[in-house]
């Protein structure tokens, strides 16, 4: 499986971006997906995760109420809608996958994801 994150960019505080994680080489329904981010000088942290069956979702406290994760099986893509962006959201955002077919479990730890895509840069100016 290959993952390709896209949709990052430069936006003013209060603005919105929608990140996409395109899955290729396999079927999205087989995978739980997580979004993680890493700012310079910091450790990679979990932002949002979704189970492979789409029923359960996780959001870090710092993004609750502002970010929404969704899956589109027809497009083999997971989206992260980011609204009300803040300068502290500035980071490289990565998506990751763990194979577990149609399961309601989501995973929040980096160590639980064996497959990673290259990141996309999100920069929020004040």
* pLDDT tens digits, one per residue of 53-106: 999 999 999 999 999 999 999 999 999 999 999 999 999 999 999 999 989 999
How many Å apart are CA 21 and CA 110, to the nearest integer?
16
Both tokens of 35, joined, read: 């979004």
Q: Residues 5-61: pLDDT tens digits?
A: 999 999 999 999 999 999 999 999 999 999 999 999 999 999 999 999 999 999 999
Q: Which of 20, 21, 19, 27 is nearest to 1 (CA)?
A: 27
CA 28 to chain centre: 14
Categorize the per-residue pLDDT at 113 as very low, low, confident or very high, splitting at 50, 70 and 90: very high
Can you give the pLDDT at residue 102?
Answer: 86
8-state DSSP, 55: S
Output the average pLDDT for the chain.
Answer: 97
Can you give the pLDDT at residue 56?
Answer: 97
Both tokens of 14, joined, read: 């209060």
Specify the length of the chain in residues.
Answer: 126
Backbone φ, ψ for residue 56 (5° rounding):
-125, 140
Can you give the pLDDT at residue 22?
Answer: 97
Long-range contacts from 13-16, C-beta under 8 angstroms, 24+ separation = 13/85, 13/86, 13/87, 13/124, 13/125, 13/126, 14/84, 14/85, 15/85, 15/124, 16/81, 16/82, 16/83, 16/84, 16/85
Question: Mean pLDDT over residues 97-124, rounded?
Answer: 95
């Amino acid at each position: 499986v290959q993952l390709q994150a896209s949709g990052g960019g430069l936006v003013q505080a209060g603005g919105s971006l929608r990140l996409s994680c395109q899955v290729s080489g396999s079927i999205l329904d087989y995978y739980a997906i997580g979004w993680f981010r890493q700012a310079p000088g910091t450790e990679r942290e979990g932002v949002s995760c979704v189970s492979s069956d789409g029923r359960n979702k996780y959001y870090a406290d710092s993004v609750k109420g502002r970010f929404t994760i969704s899956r589109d099986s027809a497009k083999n893509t997971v989206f992260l809608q980011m609204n009300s962006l803040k300068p502290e959201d500035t980071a490289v955002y990565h998506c990751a996958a763990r194979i577990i077919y149609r399961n309601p479990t989501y995973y929040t730890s980096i160590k639980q994801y064996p497959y990673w895509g290259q990141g996309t840069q999100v920069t929020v100016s004040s």
